[in-house]
Amino acid sequence: MRLMSDEEKFDAIIVGAGPAGSACAYLLAKAGKSVLVIERGTSAGSKNLTGGRLYTYALELVEPGLYTQAPLERKVVREQIMMLGESSGVTIDYVDYSFKADIPQSYTVLRAHFDEWFAGQAEEQGAMVASGIRVDDLLIKDGKVVGVKAGEDEMFADIVIGADGVNSFMAQKAGLCNDITTQMVGVGIKEIIELPADTIQKRFNLAPDEGTARVILGCTEGIQGGGFLYTNKDSVSLGIVYSPESAAKQSKSVQEIYQDLKMHPAIYPLIEGGTTVGYGAHMVPESGLKGVPKKLYRDGFVVVGDAAGFCINTGTILRGIDLAIVSGVAAARAIISAQTAAEVGPNYVSELEKLNLTPTLKLFAGWPEITSIPRMASAYPQLVNDALKFMFTVDGTVPDKMPKAMMKIAKKHVSFGQLVADGWKGVTSI
């Protein structure tokens, strides 16, 4: 990296080389702007984690066809929802080969590889990526953000982009939001379990380029949250996401709860013989639109990606990386099109609208209410398992009549009042 004199000023400084930061840097550099990306990890991606997958449309916004060069894992054609009981599991397996036609809808991804590649792409466009530097503060002069401070170094720019992730100290320092609260976040933990590619293909019924994305309910011992499983090329990402607030109400370490999921009789055969090669944890924004700062900019500063709380969780669809990229694109477009510095912020907000990010967040604004219904984590998945157990059990006795049996099973897990309340919540939230 070349040394910077005090006088040197960039068109833009981006804090954080995740997908939001790199998308923004890529487009700004391509448009001829001088861009400095500052990343605290030794390389881009070394601090980052996903379940997870990337919805391809977002990369297409950066550069059509760019995804063909990206280090992506498998094209997702199988979308699964699994509900676990004590020693049983119900899996809804939706396979759709149109998901991999033309531009595949989504790919499983490992962020250490992907983020490093993406930052490299931004560099090729002319952005400067400085890794291994932690930004400590924003420089504010006359009410305007004019740069950043890292240790003793001060660096200046016309605009600073806060792309520093879910614990966004930049957005807080800019005064756009208060510190995050426990209701706003989930915590994801996962292991990467290495398995031969053909074993993965056999176990999940996949062709060599195809992948599975699975959400799992009933695996968090009643803690609000759920599990996930994604097939990578030579590994499986298995993890849980939990509400820390809910986890704190019981006494078992979340790490142990996750270990029990690994050993669940309906999960273990999928990973048997594998070797754990990675373990990580990360917070994720969980409250959707409610967690997004009222104001996404101030003079000289905009906030993008997880730092802005952009996330969508419908239970079947989990979006974060794509929204990060879209917001990075929006910020870049806003900066490029602005005639004056004052236009950048308002332009950014209107680009987020045009790129459908804000309207989509609004549409799903009520969904966190549903995913946070306590019974989603335990009572309902168990109820489904018990119902199917009844439907498949033959033991030579005379079974109960179907309606009576189902009523009995339902009553075991939820009261009539709870059912009505949850139904009402469901209807009113969506």
Nearest approach, Cβ of 126 to other proteins (angstroms)?
Answer: 23
| Binding status of residue 411 toward other proteins by CB under 8 A | no
Cβ burial, residue 412 (10 Å; 0-12/13-18/19+): exposed
Q: Which among 97-105, 210-218, 254-262, 370-378 is the span making contact with other proteins, rule CB under 8 A? A: 254-262
The correct pick among 27, 62, 72, 110 for binding other proteins (CB under 8 A) is: 110
CA-wise closest residue to 226 among 312, 320, 318, 307:
318
- Could you tell me how many residues of this chain bind other proteins (CB under 8 A)? 62
CA-wise closest residue to 48 among 327, 283, 376:
283
| Binding status of residue 55 toward other proteins by CB under 8 A | no
Instruction: Give me 425's structure tokens.
Output: 């919540």
Q: Which helix (H) or strand (E) holds 35?
A: strand 35-39
| Binding status of residue 407 toward other proteins by CB under 8 A | no
| Binding status of residue 72 toward other proteins by CB under 8 A | no
Q: Which among 20-28, 58-66, 87-95, 126-134 is the span making contact with other proteins, rule CB under 8 A? A: 126-134
Q: Could you give the CA distance from residue 151 to residue 135 in angstroms, rounded to a whole number? A: 8
Q: Could you give the CA distance from residue 103 to residue 64 in angstroms, rounded to a whole number? A: 10
DSSP code string of 64-131:
TTGGGGS----EEEEEEEEEE-SS-EEEEEEE-GGGGSSS-SEEE--HHHHHHHHHHHHHHTT-EEEE
| Binding status of residue 283 toward other proteins by CB under 8 A | yes
Instruction: Give me 240's structure tokens.
Output: 């849980």
> Rule CB under 8 A: which of 141-160 touch other proteins?
150-151
Q: Which among 22-30, 196-204, 257-265, 347-355 is the span making contact with other proteins, rule CB under 8 A? A: 257-265
Nearest approach, Cβ of 216 to other proteins (angstroms)?
Answer: 16
Looking at the Cβ atoms of 48 and 358, the one nearer to other proteins is: 48
Looking at the Cβ atoms of 40 and 144, the one nearer to other proteins is: 40
Which single residue is written with the structure tokens 């209410």?
369
Nearest approach, Cβ of 196 to other proteins (angstroms)?
Answer: 12
| Binding status of residue 276 toward other proteins by CB under 8 A | yes
Q: Could you give the CA distance from residue 37 to residue 29 in angstroms, rounded to a whole number? A: 11
Please, what is the angle between helix 344-354 and helix 321-337, to 10°? Answer: 130
Looking at the Cβ atoms of 222 and 278, the one nearer to other proteins is: 278
The correct pick among 132, 196, 359, 399 for binding other proteins (CB under 8 A) is: 132
Q: Which among 39-47, 154-162, 197-205, 387-395 is the span making contact with other proteins, rule CB under 8 A? A: 39-47
| Binding status of residue 178 toward other proteins by CB under 8 A | no
Segments of 244-375 assigned E as strands: 275-285, 297-298, 301-303, 312-313, 318-319
Q: Could you give the CA distance from residue 364 to residue 157 in angstroms, rounded to a whole number? A: 35
Looking at the Cβ atoms of 151 and 396, the one nearer to other proteins is: 151
> Rule CB under 8 A: which of 183-222 touch other proteins?
185, 187, 189, 191-193
CA-wise closest residue to 237 among 191, 292, 197:
191
Nearest approach, Cβ of 272 to other proteins (angstroms)?
Answer: 6
The correct pick among 9, 34, 46, 290 for binding other proteins (CB under 8 A) is: 46
Segments of 133-290 assigned E as strands: 137-141, 144-150, 153-162, 185-194, 210-217, 225-231, 235-242, 275-285
Q: Could you give the CA distance from residue 225 to residue 218 in angstroms, rounded to a whole number? A: 9
161 bridge partner residues = 14, 302
Q: Could you give the CA distance from residue 22 to residue 31 in angstroms, rounded to a whole number? A: 14
| Binding status of residue 37 toward other proteins by CB under 8 A | no
Nearest approach, Cβ of 281 to other proteins (angstroms)?
Answer: 3
DSSP code string of 274-296:
-EEEEEEEEEEE-SGGGGS-S--
Nearest approach, Cβ of 67 to other proteins (angstroms)?
Answer: 18
Q: Which among 202-210, 269-277, 302-310, 375-383 is the span making contact with other proteins, rule CB under 8 A? A: 269-277
| Binding status of residue 87 toward other proteins by CB under 8 A | no
Q: Which among 28-36, 111-119, 316-324, 372-380 is the span making contact with other proteins, rule CB under 8 A? A: 111-119
Q: Could you give the CA distance from residue 214 to residue 93 in angstroms, rounded to a whole number? A: 9
Nearest approach, Cβ of 345 to other proteins (angstroms)?
Answer: 26
The correct pick among 254, 344, 352, 357 for binding other proteins (CB under 8 A) is: 254
| Binding status of residue 399 toward other proteins by CB under 8 A | no
Name the site residues for other proteins (rule: CB under 8 A): 40-42, 45-50, 110-115, 131-134, 150-151, 166-167, 179-182, 185, 187, 189, 191-193, 235, 244-245, 247-248, 250-255, 259-260, 262-263, 268, 271-283
